[in-house]
Amino acid sequence: MPSRIIAAGFGLLSFVVSSVTSEAIASENAQPADSYRERREAAEQYVNSPMMQKQFDQMLAPGGMLEQVVAAVSLGDMPPEFKALVIELALDEFRAFRPQLEEALIEASAQTYTVAELNAAAAFYDSPEGRSIIEKAPQMQAAYLKLYEPVITNYMDAVQKRAKDFASEIQKQER
């Protein structure tokens, strides 16, 4: 059970990273006037902006989102020092994968958004409201994770039950 919840927690991490850092509205297709190179350059500027980098840093900070995800999952009756080690290992791995995650965000943004949308997102995050959203992200994420854990636990239990019931039904039919 703990490994299922940890996997779900890291799935949530991916979702939160992509959704919180992508405030611009996605277009069906990039405008023909925007070349891939132009979109790529705008995406690099957006992802490498101080506010976006701050958001990545906040995920890695003590008490940040990644630590909260790991801490929120049921790690059973592990001693506190073991839980702390698991959190530190998760943070170390995230730090190692951060360049790849940033590159994936740049590439996905270049494929999805127009130059105007990327520039608008960058301008938003540079505004007082955008900076406030980035500053408040850790508190919002902590609140979300507290609400998320019981929901995902119930969801995964329901999926597991249905899978077992389905397997039992298939076995009955084969007899």
pLDDT in tens, 55-108: 888 888 877 777 777 766 656 677 888 878 888 888 888 889 999 999 999 999
Locate the domains of the chain by residue range: 2-174
Contact 142, 149 (CB under 8 A): no
Q: What is the pLDDT of residues 105-149, one digit of tens each?
A: 999 999 999 999 999 999 998 899 998 988 888 888 888 878 888
pLDDT of residue 21: 42
The pLDDT-based confidence of 45 (bands split at 50, 70, 90) is very high
Sequence letter at residue 73: V
% of the chain residues with pLDDT over 70: 78
Tell me the two tokens of residue 136: 């408040």
Gap between the Cα atoms of 67 and 70, Å rounded: 5
pTM score, whole prediction: 0.62
